[in-house]
Amino acid sequence: DSQRDVAVVTGGSSGLGYNVAFLLASKGVKVAVLDAKAPDIPVALVKYYKCDVGSYDDVAKSIAQIEHDLGPVTILVNNAGIERRGSLWEMPVEDIQLTINVNLLSQFYTIRCVLPGMIAANRGYIVSVGSSLSYTSPIYYGPYGASKAGLLGLYETLRVELEQYPGIQTLLVLPGQMRTPMFQDIYPPRQFLAPVVEPRDLATEIVDKIAHGKSGEIRRPMYVHGMPYLRILPWPIQRALRWVSNLDGSV
Active site residues: 144
**Residues 72, 118: Cα–Cα separation, whole Å:** 8
Which has the closest alpha carbon to 152: 164, 136, 139?
136
CA torsion, points 120, 121, 123, 125, in degrees to nearest 10?
A: -50
DSSP code of residue 29: -
Contact yes or no for 119/163 (Cβ under 8 A)? no
* Strand segments (E) across the chain: 6-10, 30-35, 46-50, 75-78, 124-129, 168-175, 216-220
